[in-house]
Structure 1
Amino acid sequence: MRIAFGVQYDGRPFRGWQSQRDGGTVQDELERALCAFAQTPLKTIVAGRTDTGVHGLGQVVHIDTELERTEFSWVRGTNTFLPETIAVQWAKPMPEPFHARFSAFERTYFYVLHVSAVRSAMLAGLSGWVHTPLDLDAMRAAAACLIGEHDFSAFRSSQCQAKTPVKQMHQIDIRQQGSFIHFRFRANAFLHHMVRNLMGCLVAVGRGRYPVEWLSEVLASRERHLAAPTFMPDGLYLAQVGYPEKFAVPAATLASVPWGVVWSDPATS
């Protein structure tokens, strides 16, 4: 039997998603909790790995098991053994063709950026921060060149293991809410550090360090050293993973961020 789970986590205490020999990752904690509940080791397959400090609002995983439990039992039972920074939001039996990673056709990331002359102690690790105002119109204009299918090598980590740097960017939205700027990135898939590298470039344009046209030049160059430094992970959230309707994967709960998420409208192409 294949069971899918929706998982939410605060990435601050963990060394990213992927299991490591000495532990300390979200996957390690989730598999430990599943084992404690099921009384047998269970291996998880994830929709998308997240880095150290990156958060999950709508992460999706699946397991294969012969254990039969109700959806409610999977959720409550697993959460009993999880730390307070990780919580299973839903569980659902899936047909054999479903695969948390390979069945997904798109991913959506949010980045929450706090703009303030001084940093907030209450937002440490939960939001990015810049101390100078940003030009939203310039950032929006610069981001327009990223929409469509492109080689995103200029925004790819040297440690990226993706087979190809070519990805389809469906949507980039930038909205302001008080002292916060909310970014939404929706694509078929993302490269390692891709969103954080794009954020570094957009913030550089927003600060007036580069003209709007600079970002299209960086994209066309395919050279990572020409782009801005990788931006901090603090405000990055894996918000939603898209699957074919036939699997009826529950939508992520996006209103869980303490200061509120402005994306009440669904992501559309």
Structure 2
Amino acid sequence: MDERTRLRLDVAYDGTGFSGWAAQPTRRTVAGVLVQTLDLVLGAGTATGLTVAGRTDAGVHATGQVCHLDLPTGVWREREGSLLRRLARLLPDDVRVRAMTEVPADFDARFSATFRRYEYRVTDAPWGAEPLRRHEVLAWPKPLDLAALNAAAAGLVGEHDFAAYCRRKENATTLREVTRLDWRRDPDGILVATVQADAFCQAMVRSLVGAMLVAGDGRRPVGWPAGLLTRRERSSEVTVASAHGLTLVAVGYPEDPAEYARRAERTRRLRVPLEG
């Protein structure tokens, strides 16, 4: 078998025109576009094993997505100085590969990750979202109180069963550790929620945001979002916030590359038996 080199790809995309990350035969997806373009540049099937840190849903954006793939070492050595620019010329404008970095063979974009960090943007301006930002900012119809949003967020930090906020999958765990959840109001008036955890289940971030927003506008008490953590099933009272306000901004990995394999093994042990 030919020697292969593993590459880390740092990827950004506007999720508006994509049906999410994961390849689907009849839909335009980020993974589908990347594979199609790599096949065009390198030859069909040359790049293998495309694996992503977090499979974003339809309409969700990314500025800090990470994935890995494997190339024949000879192909990589021949193309490493020009491949990034070739991809820039051929990829559509709504997806960019920002960096391609050689990494150890035991680096796993999904399982070696120590955290995923998202940001969700909301405006409560009475006129709604600015036209140039309408694809990344949710317009909220009521005034939002920053202190109330942060009070609601505080009760959701830590390790909990987030079943009330997740779309349950068979044999999947809804236990997650949220290490950061807070809101800020930027100088332009946009409210930004930062949410970080070891991992998220499907629709979890947008469900958390949906619950906090109704606490932030006064329709629910600030303790209501945390109170739902006692539920063991998805709560029908929680509205999932629109996908377009959400952006994956960072994925963390061990600083020492020697820890990639150990981290991946530990994550698989925690996740794979439950999530399949």
> TM bucket by the smaller chain?
0.7 to 0.9
SS at the partner of 2:27?
coil
Alignment of 1:101-120 (within 5 A): 101-120=110-129
Q: Is the 8 A contact 2:10 2:67 kept in 1?
A: yes
Q: 1:81 to 1:162 in 2, by over 3 A?
A: farther
**Partner amino acid for 1:131?**
P
* Residue from 211, 215, 240 that aligns with 1:205: 215
2:271 maps to which residue?
Answer: none
1:68 maps to which residue?
Answer: 76
Distance 1:234 1:162 in 2: 29
SS at the partner of 1:92?
strand
1:140 maps to which residue?
Answer: 150
1:225 Cα deviation after fit: 2.4
Please list every run of at least 4 consecutive aligned residues from structure 1 whose deviation after the TM superposition is greater than 6 angstroms.
none
- TM-score (ref. length: structure 1): 0.87
Q: Is the 8 A contact 1:162 1:191 kept in 2?
A: no
Task: Report which stretch shifted further, 94-103 or 223-232.
Answer: 223-232
- TM-score (ref. length: structure 2): 0.85
Task: Report which stretch shifted further, 192-201 or 108-117.
Answer: 108-117
1:260 maps to which residue?
Answer: none
- Structure with more helix by fraction: 2
Quote the sequence identity (%). 36
1:190 Cα deviation after fit: 0.6
SS at the partner of 1:139?
helix
Alignment of 1:42-57 (within 5 A): 42-43=47-48, 44-57=50-63
Q: Which has the larger radius of gyration?
A: 2
1:222 Cα deviation after fit: 3.0
Q: For residues 22-74 of structure 1, what are the alpha-carbon distances to aligned partners after superposition, in whole Å with 9 as ceiling and x for unaligned?
A: 13001110111111111232341111100111001111111112022454423
* Residue from 15, 23, 41 that aligns with 1:11: 15
CA-atom RMSD, angstroms? 1.7
Alignment of 1:215-254 (within 5 A): 215-247=225-257
Alignment of 1:14-93 (within 5 A): 14-41=18-45, 42-43=47-48, 44-66=50-72, 67-69=75-77, 71-93=80-102
1:7 Cα deviation after fit: 0.4
**Partner amino acid for 1:19?**
A
Q: For residues 97-145 of structure 1, what are the alpha-carbon distances to aligned partners after superposition, in whole Å with 9 as ceiling and x for unaligned?
A: 1011011011000111122112333222211110221111111111111
2:140 maps to which residue?
Answer: 130
| Number of residue equivalences | 247
Q: 1:183 to 1:161 in 2, by over 3 A?
A: farther
